[in-house]
């Protein structure tokens, strides 16, 4: 489900040839199923950034922000997450959060401003 949603909503892809209504209908169904999955091995949160991208593009900015914030909290959660994975995910998560909020966000010493070319919803 994650890979299907990724292919439909990952930033940087050109979706102009894909009918918008179908793309968003599939995104809605996939997102509902992903979020409803039981917690399994601590990796459920890894799918949240692409789910957040769907919500952001569909106009539900608050839900997108909530999912990114849940992912950030999971990085510090009780299940061990490697420092390498944290260092890889953190800049991308903060950039998404800054873009969705339209303001500078910080996590520890790392601060990120929204990108000028990010889509505003």
The residues, any chain, with a CB within 8 Å of residue 80's CB and separated by 6 or more, are: 42
**pLDDT score for 82:** 79
Rounded to the nearest integer, the mean pLDDT of the chain is 87
**pLDDT score for 106:** 94
Say if CB 59 and CB 91 are below 8 A apart: no
Query: Which pLDDT band holds residue 117 (cuts at 50, 70, 90)?
Result: low
pLDDT at position 84 over 70: yes
**pLDDT score for 27:** 94
Distances 67 to 22, 54, 105 between C-alpha atoms, Å: 23, 11, 15
The percent of residues above 90 in pLDDT, for the chain, comes to 48
Claim: this prediction has a pTM higher than 0.75? yes
Instruction: Supply 97's token pair.
Output: 């959060």
pLDDT at position 121 over 50: no
Other C-beta atoms closer than 10 Å to the C-beta of 56 total 24
pLDDT at position 17 over 80: yes
- Between 95 and 12, the more confident residue is 95
Alpha-carbon gap, residue 85 to 82, rounded angstroms: 5
**pLDDT score for 41:** 52
């Amino acid at each position: 489900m994650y890979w299907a949603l990724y292919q439909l909503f990952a930033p940087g892809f050109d979706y102009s040839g894909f009918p918008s209504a179908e793309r968003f209908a599939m995104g809605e169904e996939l997102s509902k199923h992903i979020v409803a999955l039981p917690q399994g091995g601590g990796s459920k949160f890894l799918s949240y950034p692409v789910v957040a991208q769907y919500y952001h593009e569909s106009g539900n900015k608050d839900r997108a922000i909530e999912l990114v914030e849940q992912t950030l909290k999971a990085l510090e959660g009780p299940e061990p997450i490697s420092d390498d994975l944290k260092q890889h995910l953190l800049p991308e998560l903060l950039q998404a959060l800054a873009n969705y909020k339209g303001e500078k966000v910080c996590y520890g010493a790392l601060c990120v401003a929204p990108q000028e070319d990010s889509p505003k919803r």
